[in-house]
């Protein structure tokens, strides 16, 4: 079985020292309250002004143009996928890439916990092609093995326990299906991200181990640019295959 070499740098003294600082900076609400309470908080955050600014923030942080390049250059190749699910669609940032680069006959479904975000996505996308439905990543309203492909950008960090979401993603993805997973890492910039968006962060190795235990095999790590890779910015971004 092929195994990727993780760029987690955990043997590095600096990485260990900064992880203490990261823990101090990181928002810990997600661990302090019940999932129901936390979910209400997330709905509130994205339903309000921060959610209204999400598309602009994604443009300014270059998440939209650099994400577009990943799909355009087939670093995550959508060709051949006939049913694609985007989880936590937000303002439709990734759904737009699916509309641009997926096969013309591919069925595209976007989901989000927040009704205001779904409305914003609809307005922004100006397309009737994607179905946009309200759904929680922790309990997706789809049958087992419904999708050839899944994209999930910056959403998993909104769950206290990643098993809740990864188990669902593994369930609805067919065997051999591929997933684009992007989530906040336990770096210094990730800790600040968690402050702004009230989320948690993930340790790359722990997330990899959990994915492998669920049959979600990391095919490759993806970076927005070489600069992101050098300074470990942008989060954990991986192509996953379900085995």
- Binding residues for ligand SAM (CB under 6 A): 42, 46, 58, 63, 88-90, 93-94, 112-114, 117, 136-138, 153-155, 158-159, 197
What is the C-alpha to C-alpha distance for residues 48 and 131, in angstroms, rounded to an integer?
Answer: 23
State the nearest-atom distance from the C-beta of 89 to ligand SAM, in Å: 6
**Closest CB to ligand SAM among residues 18, 163:** 163
Residue with tokens 């661990």: 31
What is the C-alpha to C-alpha distance for residues 76 and 151, in angstroms, rounded to an integer?
Answer: 10
Q: What is the H or E stretch that residue 20 is in?
A: helix 13-25
**Closest CB to ligand SAM among residues 13, 89:** 89
State the nearest-atom distance from the C-beta of 16 to ligand SAM, in Å: 28
Residues whose CB is less than 8 angstroms from the CB of residue 235 and which lie 6 or more positions away in sequence, other chains included = 154, 182, 183, 184, 185, 190, 193
Look at the chain and count its residues: 243
**Closest CB to ligand SAM among residues 77, 116:** 116
**Closest CB to ligand SAM among residues 1, 81:** 81
CB 110 within 8 A of CB 86: yes
What is the C-alpha to C-alpha distance for residues 28 and 149, in angstroms, rounded to an integer?
Answer: 32
State the nearest-atom distance from the C-beta of 177 to ligand SAM, in Å: 19
Q: How far is Cα of residue 29 from the mean position of the Cα atoms in its chain?
A: 20
**Closest CB to ligand SAM among residues 197, 224:** 197
């Amino acid at each position: 079985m092929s195994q990727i070499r993780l760029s987690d740098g955990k043997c590095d003294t600096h990485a260990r020292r900064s992880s203490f600082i990261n823990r101090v900076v990181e928002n810990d609400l997600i661990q302090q309250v019940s999932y129901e309470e936390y979910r209400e908080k997330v709905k509130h955050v994205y339903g309000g002004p921060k959610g209204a600014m999400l598309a602009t923030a994604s443009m300014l942080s270059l998440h939209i143009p650099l994400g577009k390049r990943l799909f355009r250059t087939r670093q995550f190749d959508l060709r051949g996928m006939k049913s694609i699910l985007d989880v936590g669609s937000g303002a439709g940032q990734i759904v737009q890439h699916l509309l641009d680069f997926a096969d013309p006959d591919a069925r595209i479904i976007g989901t989000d916990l927040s009704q205001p975000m779904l409305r914003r996505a609809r307005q922004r996308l100006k397309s009737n092609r994607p179905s946009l439905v309200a759904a929680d990543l922790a309990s997706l309203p789809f049958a087992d093995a419904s999708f050839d492909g899944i994209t999930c950008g910056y959403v998993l960090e909104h769950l206290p326990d990643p098993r809740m979401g990864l188990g669902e993603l593994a369930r609805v993805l067919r065997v051999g299906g591929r997933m684009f997973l992007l989530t906040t890492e336990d770096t210094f910039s990730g800790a600040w991200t968690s402050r702004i968006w009230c989320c948690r962060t993930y340790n790359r190795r722990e997330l990899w181990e959990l994915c492998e235990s669920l049959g979600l095999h990391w095919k490759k790590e993806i970076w927005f640019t070489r600069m992101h890779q050098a300074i470990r910015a942008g989060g954990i971004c991986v192509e996953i295959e379900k085995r």
